[in-house]
Structure 1
Amino acid sequence: MSSLFDPIRLGALTAPNRIVMAPLTRSRATRDHVATEMMAGYYAQRASAGLIISEATGVSRQGNGFTYTPGLWSRQQVDAWKPVTRAVHNAGGLIVAQLGHTGRAGHPSVIGEQPVSSSETVSPVDAWTYDGPKPSVQARALTMKEIAGIVADFARAAHNAMAAGFDGVQIHAANGMLIDQFLRNSANLRTDEYGGSIENRVRLLDEVTRAVAGAIGADRTSVRLSPNGEVWGVDDSDPTPLFVAAAKTLSAIGIAFLELKEANPDGTFVSSDVPHQSPMMRPHFKGPLILNSDYDIDRAQADLDGGAADAISFGRAFLANPDLVERLRLGAPLNDAQRETFYSQGAEGYSDYPTLAEFEAVARPAA
């Protein structure tokens, strides 16, 4: 049986341990969606993770619907990410870029146009804007030609990610964002080849993943899904056959790994009574499987021991503990995450969380 602290092969990458930093939106980029110097320090602090998955990064302005979040569609954005990836590599880490499109979750004041989705629907969740939360507006259903353009946007952003120094990419197909809006039938009301049947609803995920794999290699391509319960107003009436089909599709492409965010009934950030889908998906995906959501070290190791997962990704624990791997190794206490600074724009609650050594130095009484 493998330990959390054993290395693992993830496609082209060999991670030194199985403690992955989950993608975490932190809103520290500029209003032009350009990465900042502050972000280089933040990610480098967490380079002891087996692998860092970056915050969600837009493949186009249309698809970057959250405030102060980075993109990878322009030369300026590529150049701004280079110091971030360099800092992680200089600290001995690995980092992949999570690429996404927010779809109907975007607001016209942020993306400059009416949001798009699989269908003409309205998110029940307020949209993020620079003037605070506002009611979401009705999305416009994408045309066939536009869908092909979005597939191309993902492939272009993957090329840009590699040019920026990332070690690979993760396709964001979770959490109620655009690809998830095509996958699940609460949001996808289409009657063409992208709607209705499971095969049709999985089509965009398949096309995007194949395009990205064709651009940078399947061994540097990964995917994130959230297969159980409602997220950002998106849900499915029968998730098991849908996500088993998604697992088979992604396995056939040969991606580097699949990450699943599965909420628990007592989840501390997102909760769901819908059963976890990973046990049904696991036999159909032949690559490494990474699980996420509310893990502590005991549950994480138990899922490795039982064969439920090959690695575990940690979100808020990494947010608040730059040295999470060492803390878990020692069984040391963890810093608490400051929710009020999750999406603020300064260093507070971002790059100022103390390491265990720094905490002990402050707590040590004077001789």
Structure 2
Amino acid sequence: MSKHGGIAASTVPLLTPYKMGAFDLSHRVVLAPLTRTRSYNNVPQPHAILYYQQRTTIGGLLIAEATGVSDTAQGYKDTPGIWTKEQVEAWKPIVDGVHAKGGIFFCQIWHVGRVSNHRFDGVEIHGAHGYLIDQFFKDQVNGRTDKYGGSLENRCRFGLEVVEAVVDEIGAGKVGMRLSPFANYWESSDSNPGALGLYMAHALNKIGILYCHTVEPRMITFVDKVETPNSLRAMRDAFKGTFIVAGGYGREDGNAAVSSGYADLVAYGRLFLSNPDLPRRFEIDAPLNKYNRDTFYISDPVVGYTDYPFLSSVV
């Protein structure tokens, strides 16, 4: 029994410790990067301190919401940036808040390959979901005829150049990348996603980044989950660093993914959004709060953001 009277963490695969490069994780439940549209005028706000702190555990990995690194990178209203001094200064108390509770915080960047502040524990490059890098990857939307289009090698060139630029800036041991080779986000698909995923796994090995964070084939869009024979097993076997999976996982299949060696870590989005104490609930197999999709992207600094109850307040 744990000190809380629940199941001992060592009997729950998701709650076992893991060594990720220089980082000692106390469990394998990762906060996935979640756009919340509450960074007014692209500046992170003080209410984000509480939001991320609520989801912080000692030795837990959190990946911040997608963060733009130029004024042309933003695709949605009130998403955070990190290209101005004001934005960098606004991130600092958020990072400090996570660190104060013993958490490990990576900043997911999108659009280009530089980061402005080295106080973050690491950087995740957004190469998924049909955004800029993913548009280069996918042959159904990349119609270029230069060295960035056509062959698989050419289509992956831009994304790998971004990775190399970030690695040159902060070191490979602080860099991860998110990929969704099988997905069709924003009608961005590939005729041979398995080959694309394998190519990127091998290419990222050569660069030596810390982790590869890959979206399951069953998540063909942001919300649609389908049964599919496709698997990330080939990518997982090929990639030599930490392999993180995401895409509609719950407690049981998350435990199975870890215990079978299919994944090292499992990222949770909607469930972690609505259950700030998700690792604890997984530990004792407690009921989960239901998420309210209607409040995912509203601008309210509390509603649907920091008002989901903790287990102690409902039992």
Q: Is the 8 A contact 1:96 1:166 kept in 2?
A: yes
Rg (Cα) greater in structure: 1
Partner SS for 1:191: coil
- Describe the SS at the equivalent of 1:20: strand
State how 1:89-128 maps to structure 2 within 5 Å.
89-101=99-111
Shift of 1:296: 1.2
Confirm or deny: 8 A CA contact 1:268 1:294 kept in the other structure.
Answer: no
Partner secondary structure for residue 72 of structure 1: coil
In 1: Cα distance, 2:230 partner to 2:293 partner: 26
Q: 1:301 to 1:21 in 2, by over 3 A?
A: same
1:272–1:189 distance in 2 versus 1, CA, 3 Å: farther
**Paired position in structure 2 for 1:337:** 291
Residue of 322, 342, 353 corresponding to 2:308: 353
The alpha-carbon deviation at position 244 of structure 1 amounts to 0.6
Q: Tell me if structure 2 keeps the 8 A contact 1:97–1:161.
A: no
Of 263, 266, 290, the match for 1:309 = 263
Q: Is the aligned partner of 1:290 residue 2:299?
A: no
Q: CA deviation at 1:271?
A: 3.0
For 2:8, the equivalent position in structure 1 comes to none
Contact 1:243–1:277 (Cα < 8 Å) also in 2: no
The residue number in structure 1 matching 2:84 is: 74
**How far apart are the structure 1 equivalents of 2:305 and 2:68?**
21
How far 1:267 sits from its partner (Å)?
8.4
Report matched runs for 1:192-271 at 5 Å: 192-264=146-218, 269-271=223-225
SS in 2 for 1:71: coil
Which SS does the other structure have where 1:260 is aligned?
A: strand
- Shift of residue 15 of structure 1? 1.5
| Gap change, CA 1:353 and 1:12, over 3 Å in 2 | same
Q: Which amino acid aligns with 1:262?
A: E
Question: Aligned residues: percent identity?
Answer: 41
In the alignment, structure 1 residue 320 sits paired with structure 2 residue 236: no
* CA displacement 1:276-328 (0-9 Å, x = unmatched): 34112122211110111111111111111221111111100100011000000
> TM-score normalized by structure 1?
0.79
Say if 1:228 and 1:272, in contact at 8 Å, map to a contact too: no
8 A Cα contact 2:219 2:247, kept in partner? no
Structure 2 residue corresponding to 1:278, chosen from 205, 209, 232:
232
Pick which of 22-31 and 299-308 moved more: 299-308
Q: Please say if residues 184 and 220 of structure 2, whose CA atoms lie closer than 8 Å, have aligned partners that are also in contact.
A: no
1:184–1:235 Cα contact (<8 Å) kept: yes
Change (3 A) 1:177 1:14: same
The answer for the alignment partner of 1:63 in structure 2 is 73
- For residues 109 and 117 of structure 2, what CA distance do their matches in structure 1 show? 9
Deviation of 1:264 after TM superposition, in Å, equals 2.0
Number of corresponding residues: 303
Q: Contact 1:222–1:256 (CA<8 Å) still a contact in 2?
A: yes
CA distance in 2, matches of 1:276, 1:212: 31
Which amino acid counterpart does residue 313 of structure 1 have in structure 2? A
Q: Deviations over 1:52-110 (max 9, x none)?
A: 00000011111111111001111111000001001111112111000002xxxxxxxxx
Q: Once the 2 structures are TM-superposed, how far is the Cα of residue 2 of structure 1 from its aligned partner?
A: 8.3
Maintained 8 Å contact 1:227/1:276: no
Matched, 1:36 2:45: yes
Kept in 2: contact 1:95–1:167 (CA 8 A) = yes
Q: Distance in 2 between matches of 1:91 and 1:243?
A: 35
Query: Which one-letter code corresponds to 2:307 in the other structure?
Result: D
Could you tell me how far 1:266 is from its partner in structure 2? 9.6
Maintained 8 Å contact 1:56/1:100: yes
Q: Deviations over 1:183-210 (max 9, x none)?
A: 0011110011100000001101111111
Separation in structure 2 between the aligned mates of residue 90 and residue 20 of structure 1, nearest angstrom: 18
Q: Compute the RMSD of aligned alpha carbons.
A: 1.8
Q: 1:11 aligns with which of 6, 21, 38?
A: 21
- Alignment check: 8 A CA contact 1:265 1:273 kept: no
TM superposition shift of 1:12: 2.5
Counterpart of 2:185 in 1: which secondary structure? coil
| Unmatched 5+ stretches in structure 1 | 102-149, 361-367
Structure 2 equivalent of residue 124 of structure 1: none
Q: Which amino acid letter does the alignment assign opposite residue 353 of structure 1?
A: Y
Q: Which amino acid aligns with 1:226?
A: S
**Given the superposition, is the C-alpha separation of residues 61 and 277 from structure 1 closer, same or farther in structure 2, using an over 3 Å criterion?**
farther
2:219–2:248 CA contact under 8 A, matched in 1: no
Stretch moving more, 238-247 or 277-286: 277-286
| Structure-1 separation of matches of 2:220 and 2:285 | 23
2:217/2:231 contact within 8 Å kept: no
Distance 1:202 1:268 in 2: 23
1-side partners of 2:193 and 2:227: how far apart? 13
**For residues 156-214 of structure 1, what are the alpha-carbon distances to aligned partners after superposition, in whole Å with 9 as ceiling and x for unaligned?**
x2xx242xx31101000000010000000111100111000000011011111111111
Q: 1:22 aligns with which of 11, 24, 32?
A: 32
Report if the CA contact (8 A) 2:51-2:306 is conserved. Answer: yes
